[in-house]
Amino acid sequence: MKKILACIAMVIATVIWGTAFSAQSEGAGHVGALLFVALRSFVGAAALSFVILLSDLARRKRFSLWGDAVEPQAKKDLLCGGLFCGIAITAASSFQQLGIRYVSAGKTGFLTALYILIVPLLGLFLRKKTPKTFYAASCTALLGTYLLCGGVDSFGKGEFFVLLCAFLFAGHIMVIDHYAARCDCLRLSCVQFFVAAILSLCASLLFGEKWLLSGIRGALPYWLFCGVGSSAIAFTLQIVAQKYLHPVLASLLMSLESVFAVAGGYLFLHEQLSRRELAGCVIILLSIVFAQIPWKGRKVEESQA
């Protein structure tokens, strides 16, 4: 039951991410990439702080950073997890936001989805046991994403930024896999966004991005939506879900982001889906179903993981 609920939480996160993609694209036209990441991260951290405060009040506990983490090791895990997750998500989000300026939505979706393959490869280097069915599902899901997004017909500066983003998101998934079971999910997510806000703000100043009040005000609905929806809600759901999911299965579920982005365009923007795009959606969905089937020998592999 916990695994089923974790899968549902991850799917909800992908729905939000898919919807937020257009908001990121619109926001890129008003403010610099690093400033946009800083603004959405501050909103995410503030929203999560408020939720933690309400949670502590409901349980009649004094509000604190540590929560139930009393032992020194538990506090260290929370700080280290928040720091490493914050560094990874800052770099990944910044490169993605930079890439959106130069790359079409289709290319960005396909290149970002390369974490479908990068996560199991990282698992090999980290000697993490992975069921063979997950590798097969990752390959077919990547094929589905290629059909859905149109692939890549050229490679330039924007494509390079998004490819880096895919590697960094894969690293983010692996870091969460290490710390999620050891920390309070809300607090881990909150710390990561405070770290992301500070790092991206400093980077924005360092690289001399223009801070225009008109630009910040113009991008207000986009960084507010991404801060509350994509950052505070969706990334926290990801951390909660990864407590109970294998990282490769988590990356497969996250690939649904492309499907929901296309579905949102069809429902809200009246964009028509081609047969190729529909085939891509079906292949991704079938890949995720295939990864969930309890094949013979699968339980043995998972128990060794």
Per-residue pLDDT tens over the stretch 263-289: 665 665 565 667 887 787 778 777 766
Nearest to 12 by CA among 234, 226, 241: 234
Tell me the average pLDDT across 140-147: 78
Tell me the average pLDDT across 52-64: 80
Taking the C-alpha atoms of residue 230 and residue 223, their distance in angstroms, rounded to an integer, is 10
- Give kind and range of the element (H or E) at residue 98: helix 72-100
CA geometry: angle 104, 172, 176, nearest 5 deg:
140
Taking the C-alpha atoms of residue 6 and residue 4, their distance in angstroms, rounded to an integer, is 5
Classified as helix, coil or strand, 128 is coil
Considering only CA atoms, give the Rg of the chain: 19
| Per-residue exposure over 87-108, b if at least 16 CB sit within 10 Å of its own CB, e if not | bbbbbbbbbbbbbbebbebbbb
| Per-residue exposure over 183-217, b if at least 16 CB sit within 10 Å of its own CB, e if not | bbbbbbbbbbbbbbbbbbbebbeeeebeeeeebee
Q: Are 17 and 207 in contact (CB under 8 A)?
A: no
| 14-56 pLDDT per residue, tens | 888 877 777 777 787 889 999 999 999 999 999 999 988 888 8
| 221-274 pLDDT per residue, tens | 999 999 999 888 988 898 888 888 888 788 778 877 777 766 665 665 565 667
